[in-house]
Chain A
Amino acid sequence: MLTRLLSGDTPRSGLLTALLLIVLISLAFAPFLFPGTKSLETAARICIFIVLVASYDLLLGYTGIVSFAHTMFFGIGAYGTALALSATGPTYTSLIWGTVAGAVVAAVFALIIGLFSLRVKAIFFAMVTLAVASAFAVLVSQMSWLTGGEDGLNYRIPRELTPAFKLIDEKILDVRINGKLMAYYLVFFVSAILFLVMLRIVNSPFGRTLKAVRDNAFRAEAIGYRVVWYRTTATVLSAVMAALAGSLLAIWLRYTGPATTLSMEIMIDILLMVVIGGMGTLYGAVLGATLFILAQTYLQNLMGVAAEATSALPFVSTLVAPERWLLWLGVLFILSVYFFPTGIVGRLRAGRA
C-alpha cells in the first residue's frame, strides 16, 4: 500500500528514509511541535517549495532541460489566485477558479515557449526562458492597474482560512485551532498530494521515456519517441505544478507581489535547492528545499555569531557576515555540481550500495 502510494519509488536507503520521515513528521505536526508564528511560516514555505522544487526537478533532473522561467509559472499561478480573490471577493469559487485559470495560463505559456525553443537546443531554451521570464517580471511590475505593480496585491481569503476563524474554542496541546491552522493543513495536504502525483508521473512509462530523452535524445528519437513532444509535455507539466504551488503561496501569504514570486533570486534559490538536494530524484527536492529554507531562516543567525566572533579580522568577518550566506551556498552549489551531481540523495543511496 505504502509502496503503491509512493509509486514503487522507495527511498532505497535507511538514512534517507529516516531523514524523509523526520521531514514528513515535522511538517505534519509542525503547529504542535514547533509553536510560534515564525516556525509555522517556515513550515508552510517548506511545503510549498517542496512542490515547486520537485516540479523544477521534473524538468532539470528528469528531462535534462534548464529553464529560467520557472518563477514565471510560479508567479502566474500566484497572480491567478490573487487576482481572482481580489476581483470577486473571498469565496471558494473564486479561489478555485483563479487557481485553475492560473494553471491553464501557465500551461499555454509553457506550450508556446516549448514549441518555440525546444526544437533547437537545450542551451537555446535556457537563454530564451531567461529573457522571457525577465520580460514577464518587468511587465508585471509595470501593469500596476492590474497587478499592483511593485507593491503587489493584498486580498482577503475565505474566512475559514484566516486566524479570526475559530474551529473549536479549547486549545489542543496549547495550540489554538483557528483558521491559520486550517490554512496550514490545506497547504500541507495539497503539497503532499501534488508531490505524490509527481512521483507517479516520473515513475510511469512516460517518466522513463523522459529519462531516456535526457540521457540520449538522439537515440530516443531513433527508437521512435518524438523527443520534442516529450520535452514540451514535461515543460507543460512542470509549469502547471509550479503554478499550483504559486496558488498555494498566494493563499498562505494573502499577499502576492513580484518579490515573493517572480524575482530572479527565487529562481536561483530553486536551482540551488534542486542541485544540492539531488537532481533526478524527487526526494532530493524534499531534502534540498527543507535544508535550504532552514538555512535561509536560521543559518543567517549562526553566521551573525560567526561574524561577531571574527570581527577582529576585517576581511574574514565580511565574508561570514549574515548577508553573505548566498556566497557560501554558491560555492557549495559549484562543488556539488562537480563532485556529487546526484546531490545529497545520490550520496545517501550510493553509500548504501
Chain B
Amino acid sequence: MSETSIKPRIEKVPLSEQFFQKLPVMLVPFLAVAGLIAIGNPASWLTLTVAGLAMGMMIFIMASGLTVVFGLMDVINFGHGAFVAVGAFVGFTVLAWLAGWTTSPSVIMNLAAVLIAILVAMAITGLLGLAFERVIVMPVYGEHLKQILVTMGGLIVAQQMIYVVWGPDELHLSRPEAFQGSWVIGEAAIEKYRLVAVGIGLALFVAMRHILKNTKIGLLVRAGVENGEMVEALGYRIRRLFLIVFMTGSALAGLGGVMWGLYQETITAHMGSEIMVLVFIVVIIGGLGSVEGCFIGAMLVGLLANYTAFLAPKVALISTIALMVAILMWRPQGLYPVVKAK
C-alpha cells in the first residue's frame, strides 16, 4: 500500500542490484547440486531430477493461470482445483473413447489421441472458467473474504458434480503405448512420459513469456497487473481482458489435469483440492502475480519433493512447507512480487 509508483526504467541498474534480482534464478541449479551431493548416486539423481522437473512443469501449468488471474484482477480462485479435476476427467473420458488409438503401436495415433483429449479438456475447462467467472466470481470483485468463500463453494459444487456425472469411484487409465516405459541412459532410467511433460511445460513457459513480453495482449495484461485503472482510463476493457485471462488460466488448469492424470494413471474427484496445496505453495513462493516466480517456485517444489521423497519419504510434504517458510523469511512477498500487497 505504501509505494505504488512505477519506477521508470531509464537509469541503469547497478550490477549488484541486478545480481540480487537474478538471485532466485540460481536457486534451481543450486538445489539440483545440493540434491546431487545429498543423494550421492548420479544415476538415481538424474532419474529424480527429471521426475522433479516433470512434476514442477505440471504444477507450473496449473499454477500459472492462478497467479496471472490474481495479479490482474486481485482475484484468488480457491476453486482452481476444480478445473484440474474436471480437465482430468474429461481427458480420461476422451482417451477411453479413443481406446483403439491409444493401444495401437503407432506413435502418431497415440499422440493424436492425447492431443485430442487435451484439446477437448482445455475447451471444456475454458468454458467452465467462463461460467465460473460470470456466475461465481464476478459478483464479488474486490471483496477478498467473499471471494475465498464463494470460490470454495464453487469447488465443493464442482467436486460433487464430478461425482454425479462420473460416479463416486476413481478412474484408472494406462498411458498410451508411446508414453509407457523408459529410456535407459547409463544406469539412469528416465520415464518417457516425464520427458514429454518437461517438453510441454518448457514450451508453454516460453510461449507464455513470448505472449506476455512481445504481443499487444501481453502488454495489456502486464500493464493491467501494474495499474489496472490506468489501463481502463486509456480505453481498454479490463474486464474483458480479465475474462480472457481467466478462461486461459482455467484451460491451462485443465491441461495440467490431463497431464497429471496421465502421470498418476489414477484420478479422483478431489485430486484438484489435493494438488491445490502444492499450487498454492508455488504461487506463494513465486510471488503473487509473477509468471517467472511461479516457474522457479514450481521447479523448486518439484525437485525438492522428489529428492526428499527419495531421501526421507516421511517428510516429503513438510519439506515443501519448510521451503515456503524459508523463502518467505528471505523475501516476505515471494521471489518476484509483482502485485503490491494490499
- Is A134's CB under 8 angstroms from B156's CB? no
- Is B157's CB under 8 angstroms from A330's CB? yes
- Is B150's CB under 8 angstroms from A264's CB? no
| Cα of A305 to Cα of B320 in the assembled complex, Å | 46
Cβ of B244 under 8 Å from chain A: no
| Cα of A278 to Cα of B342 in the assembled complex, Å | 27
Q: List 18 A-B contacts (CB under 8 A).
A: A116-B325, A123-B144, A126-B76, A127-B280, A131-B277, A131-B320, A134-B274, A138-B317, A268-B152, A324-B163, A327-B163, A330-B153, A330-B154, A333-B149, A333-B153, A333-B156, A337-B140, A337-B149
Besides A119-B332, A268-B152, 4 more A-B contacts (Cβ < 8 Å) are A124-B288, A131-B277, A135-B318, A275-B149
Partner of A116 from the list B146, B314, B328 (CB cut-off 8 Å) is B328
Cβ of B120 under 8 Å from chain A: no
- Interface readout for A318-351 with B: 1 if CB under 8 Å, 0 if not? 1100011011011101100110010000000000
| Cα of A338 to Cα of B140 in the assembled complex, Å | 8
- Is A323's CB under 8 angstroms from B273's CB? no
Contact residues of B between 313 and 342, Cβ < 8 Å to A: 314, 317-318, 320-321, 324-325, 328, 332-333, 341-342
- Is B157's CB under 8 angstroms from A327's CB? yes
Partner of A130 from the list B139, B276, B318 (CB cut-off 8 Å) is B276
Cβ of A25 under 8 Å from chain B: no
Answer whether A323 and B163 are a contact pair too, CB < 8 Å, given A123-B76, A123-B144, A131-B321: yes
- Is A126's CB under 8 angstroms from B148's CB? yes
Partner of B145 from the list A122, A124, A218, A333 (CB cut-off 8 Å) is A122
Provide the residues of chain A in CB contact with B115, threshold 8 Å: none
Taking the closest CB of chain A, its distance from the CB of B322, in whole angstroms, is: 9
- Interface readout for B26-63 with A: 1 if CB under 8 Å, 0 if not? 00000000000000000000000000000000000000
Cβ of B127 under 8 Å from chain A: no
Cβ of B174 under 8 Å from chain A: no
Partner of A139 from the list B288, B318, B332, B341 (CB cut-off 8 Å) is B318
Contact residues of A between 30 and 44, Cβ < 8 Å to B: none
| Cα of A268 to Cα of B78 in the assembled complex, Å | 12
Answer whether A330 and B318 are a contact pair too, CB < 8 Å, given A120-B333, A318-B164, A323-B168: no
Taking the closest CB of chain B, its distance from the CB of A124, in whole angstroms, is: 7
Contact residues of B between 105 and 124, Cβ < 8 Å to A: none
| Cα of A116 to Cα of B326 in the assembled complex, Å | 11
**In terms of DSSP, what is the predominant structure of the interface of chain B?**
helix
Q: Inter-chain contact count A-B, CB under 8 Å?
A: 109
- Is A334's CB under 8 angstroms from B318's CB? no
Answer whether A326 and B284 are a contact pair too, CB < 8 Å, given A119-B332, A134-B317, A218-B1: no
- Is B150's CB under 8 angstroms from A337's CB? yes
Provide the residues of chain A in CB contact with B157, threshold 8 Å: 327, 330-331, 334
Provide the residues of chain B in CB contact with A124, threshold 8 Å: 284, 288, 341
- Is B160's CB under 8 angstroms from A330's CB? yes
| Cα of A127 to Cα of B146 in the assembled complex, Å | 15
Contact residues of A between 92 and 136, Cβ < 8 Å to B: 116-117, 119-124, 126-128, 130-132, 134-135
- Interface readout for A149-178 with B: 1 if CB under 8 Å, 0 if not? 000000000000000000000000000000
| Cα of A64 to Cα of B318 in the assembled complex, Å | 28
Taking the closest CB of chain B, its distance from the CB of A66, in whole angstroms, is: 5
| Cα of A330 to Cα of B144 in the assembled complex, Å | 19
- Is B144's CB under 8 angstroms from A264's CB? no
- Interface readout for A204-242 with B: 1 if CB under 8 Å, 0 if not? 000000000000001000000000000000000000000
Answer whether A122 and B277 are a contact pair too, CB < 8 Å, given A326-B160, A334-B136: no
Provide the residues of chain B in CB contact with A318, threshold 8 Å: 164
| Cα of A319 to Cα of B317 in the assembled complex, Å | 36
- Is A327's CB under 8 angstroms from B161's CB? yes
- Is A326's CB under 8 angstroms from B156's CB? yes
